[in-house]
Structure 1
Amino acid sequence: MTEMSGPVLRWRVRRDLVVVKAVATLVLAALAVLSVDDPRGMILAGVAALVTAVLTLRDVLVPVRLSADGEGLVVVKGFAGSERLAWNAVERVRVDSRTRFASRTELLEIDTGEAVYLFSRFDLGAPCQEVADELCAYRTGT
C-alpha cells in the first residue's frame, strides 16, 4: 500500500464477511466434488467456488479499500493494487442511492474527473453516507 502521512482514516471489508465468503467457497467446492455424477452441477458449483475463492482472496490480500490522510486518499485499484489521490485531484465525493424492487443500494463515489472510484458498504464496512461525511469533514478540517 502507498505510504500515508499524519492521522489516517481507514475503511475495510468486515472480517465476518470474509469468513462467510471463505465458508461459501468451501461449501461450493464440496458440492462440486459431490456432484461427480452430474457434470453440469459439478461445473456450476466449481465455477461458483472459484469465483468466491477469488473474491475471498482479494478480501484477504487487500482488506483496506479506502484510506484518507492529510495529503489525500489511497483507493484500491484493480484486483489488489492501490492508487494515491491528492485531495486537490478529488473533484467530488458523494453517495449514489438507488431504490429498485424495494431494495436500496448505496455506493460511495469518488470522482477525480479522470476516473470514478465506487465503494459499497461491504467494501467499506460502514454506511456509505457515514464515510462520505467523514471524508468531507476530514478534508475540510472540521
Structure 2
Amino acid sequence: MDEDGVDNVPEGLTTRWRVPVRFTVLKAALTVVFVAAGVLLTGGDRAALALVVIGTVALAAFTLRDLLAPVRLSASPEGVRVVTGFCGHRELPWSAVERVRVDVRKRLGLRTELLEIDTGETLHLFSASELGADCTAVAERLSSLRTGR
C-alpha cells in the first residue's frame, strides 16, 4: 500500500480471508445473553456473578477483535499480511516465510485443522473459523501466490 492507503497490487491478485460475519454476530449475541444471565440469574451469588462477568468480558473482547481486525490473513505475489496481537498486522515478504502447512489433529473423535505460517522466528496460526475457508484450500492458494502460478 502506498501512503494514501491505495493497494498497488493489480486488482484480483490480493486474496483476503476474514472472520465470517455470522461468527461475529453470534459472539455479540452470546455477550448479550451473558449480560442478561448475570442480571437475571445470579441473585447475589458472587461466585456465579464472577463467572458471568469473566465470560462476558471474554466474549466482548473476541467480538471487538472481530470488528477491529476482521481480515485475519491476506496474500499477494509479494507476501502475506497476518494479524498479530489483538488487532495489529504484520507484513511478511515471501522470502521471510519458511513454511506454510496445515496441521491436522484428531482427538476425542474431532478433527481440527490449523493453517501454520512459519517464519523461523514466529509461527502464525489460523483456524478455518478465523479464515472463513478450509485451511487446506487457503494453503493451496498461498502456495500458488508464492510460486506465481
- Please, what TM-score do these two structures have when normalized by structure 2? 0.91
Instruction: Give the number of aligned pairs.
Output: 142
The SS at the match of 1:45 is helix
Alignment partner for residue 9 of structure 1, among 3, 15, 24?
A: 15
User: Is 1:83 aligned to residue 65 of structure 2?
Assistant: no
1:47-86 per-residue CA deviation (whole Å, 9 max, x = no partner) reads: 1011000000000000000001121110001001000000
Give 2:123's aligned residue. Answer: 116
TM-score, normalised relative to structure 1:
0.95
Shift of 1:100: 0.1
Aligned-partner residue type, residue 118 of structure 1: L
State the identity %: 49
Aligned to 1:18: 24
Corresponding residue number in structure 2 for 1:136: 143
Q: Determine the structure 2 residue equivalent to 1:41.
A: 48
Alignment of 1:30 with 2:42, yes or no, is no
Distance in structure 2 (CA, Å) of the matches to 1:117 and 1:37: 43
Question: CA offset at residue 5 of structure 1?
Answer: 3.6
The farther-off stretch of 60-69 and 2-11 is 2-11
Supply the AA of the counterpart residue of 2:138.
V
TM-superposed CA distance for 1:141, in Å, is 1.6
Distance 2:44 2:69 in 1: 37
Instruction: Evaluate the alpha carbon distance shift between residue 5 and residue 111 of structure 1 in structure 2; reply closer, same or farther with a 3 A threshold.
Output: farther
**Which whole-Å CA distance do the structure 2 matches of 1:88 and 1:53 have between them?**
37
Unaligned runs of 5+ in 1: none
Please name the residue that 2:77 is paired with.
Answer: 70
Q: CA RMSD in A?
A: 1.5
CA contact under 8 A between 2:77 and 2:148: conserved in structure 1? no
Is 1:96 paired with 2:110?
A: no
Residue aligned with 1:67, SS: strand
